[in-house]
Amino acid sequence: MDLLRQEKPFIFQQDNAPCHRAKLAKDWFQEQNIEVLAWPANIPELNCIENLWSWLDKEIAKQEPRSLDELKEIAPNILNNVPKSILENLIDSMPNRINECLKNKG
Q: How far is it, in rounded angstroms, from Cα 6 to Cα 3?
A: 8
Cβ(17)–Cβ(40) below 8 Å: no
Residue 39 predicted with pLDDT over 80? no
The neighbour count for residue 64, using CB atoms within 10 Å, is 8
Q: How confident is the model over 88-98, as a mean pLDDT? A: 88
Q: What is the DSSP letter of 8?
A: S
> pLDDT higher for 50 or 42?
50
Task: State residue 98's pLDDT score.
Answer: 86
- pLDDT score for 6: 66
| pTM of the entire predicted model | 0.55
Question: How confident is the model at residue 73, as a pLDDT?
Answer: 93
pLDDT band for 72, please (50, 70, 90 cuts): very high
- Side-chain half-sphere of 14: how many Cα atoms within 13 Å? 14
SS3 of residue 36 by DSSP: strand
